[in-house]
Amino acid sequence: MAIGGMKANARNIETDPELKMRLVPILADEKVSYFNMINRAKAASCPVKDRFDFSLDLEEPLKIKNPNIENRIRNSCIMGKWDRIAVEIFNYNSYEEFIEFELNNTTFFGQILFKINDEMIKILNQVEKDLIDNQAPGYKAPLANSTLREKSGMHGWGMAIDFDVGMNPYVLNEKSEGELDKVLIGAYDNIAKLMLGKNESDLRKLKIGRTAFGNGSIGDVYDILREESDAMKRYFLLMNDNIALQEFIETEWAVKNPDTNPPDFAAIKAQMENDYRILGGKTDTGNVWRTETREDPPFAPNSMGGTGDPATGFLNLRKEFVEAMVNSGFAWGAIDISGEPGDIQHFDLRLQGVGARVYDLLLKYK
């Protein structure tokens, strides 16, 4: 049915119940396929000249046919946040156009990176230059794993990059994993207490931000995280070495805890094995977490890049690399992504320039 004909009929249906009964399902189907067609044609900004009238005319029959149609249309077409941001900030008609025309490839320490925003290319070039000038001409950067992931946070705009994901997992505060976090933090606390003599893990402070660490510099944040990561490595090495564990308790531990009785050896071993499993380590019985819940522990083989072995620690990026990235303008996922810090592998441009504008709108448009 031609659009003009549908509009005319839609206006008449209120005065003609029989016509209405016949037309409602037809109109509803027409409208659904019409919007599907618009989407498929990559015209997500809905370039239909009279679309406002058209929507109003068909509103009532559409509601009768499908009460959720308004949401569906709003989400799928006119109001999709990815399209809105592509229009408002980058002047494209749609998100798909943005992906096709705005993003470019670059190299970073010899690695080819695909589909990146030009501002990020500039900043990565700067990081490369800094590290080569200040470290060594042959400086080796970590493996870059992931840049563009469509419709996924700052990755969705070619303004985020992940490094060496198997060795730098999302340790805590991952979206929708609050229940898992309650258990994870217990494991991090156990490690910080036994190995470092702390009262609890400093990962608890990530949500406060940089100021909670030392003098608030990114170097101080790094040092404290790195110390806990190295402690984790050692904790799980000791788990598999009874002699070394016994010796550790009698010497290093005893020095740090002069007024406390040494922990029960069997209880500590059991705690270590439990923590290993909680963090996503592979066990004889497999990864029980994944089958019980949708949440994935940091080291679980099914988590992004997870190696299944918490004995590798959670931070192997080098300090000067993290500092060079942050000094050039990147937010570090470990500490700078408010609300969800703990993403050690992740860097993005939410703190500055066009990245900050995009990030604001990502929060604003749900």
Residues of this chain that interact with Zn ion (CB under 5 A) are 162, 346
CA 139 remoteness from chain centre: 28
For Zn ion, the closer of residues 85 and 349 by Cβ is 349
95: three-class secondary structure by DSSP: helix
Element of type H or E holding 112: strand 111-116
CB of 142 to Zn ion, least distance (A): 13
For Zn ion, the closer of residues 240 and 338 by Cβ is 338
For Zn ion, the closer of residues 162 and 340 by Cβ is 162
Are the C-beta atoms of residues 201 and 211 closer than 8 Å to each other? Answer: no
CB of 287 to Zn ion, least distance (A): 22
d(CA 171, CA 185): 9
CB of 330 to Zn ion, least distance (A): 11
For Zn ion, the closer of residues 346 and 350 by Cβ is 346
Q: How many CB atoms lie within 10 A of CB 8?
A: 11
DSSP assignment of 260-297 equals SPPPPHHHHHHHHHHHHHHTT---TT--HHHHH-S---
For Zn ion, the closer of residues 30 and 296 by Cβ is 296
CB of 221 to Zn ion, least distance (A): 18
Are the C-beta atoms of residues 325 and 131 closer than 8 Å to each other? Answer: no
Q: How many CB atoms lie within 10 A of CB 265?
A: 12
For Zn ion, the closer of residues 287 and 345 by Cβ is 345
d(CA 165, CA 315): 10
214 — phi, psi (to 5°)?
50, -130
d(CA 138, CA 40): 47
CB of 346 to Zn ion, least distance (A): 3
CB of 160 to Zn ion, least distance (A): 5
CB of 154 to Zn ion, least distance (A): 8
For Zn ion, the closer of residues 210 and 346 by Cβ is 346
For Zn ion, the closer of residues 253 and 321 by Cβ is 321
Are the C-beta atoms of residues 140 and 285 closer than 8 Å to each other? Answer: no
Are the C-beta atoms of residues 169 and 306 closer than 8 Å to each other? Answer: yes
Q: Which residue is nearest to Zn ion (CB)?
A: 346
Give the residue from 100, 160, 113, 143 showing the smallest Cα distance to 351.
Answer: 160
CB of 125 to Zn ion, least distance (A): 20
- 140 forms beta bridges with none
354 — phi, psi (to 5°)?
-65, -25
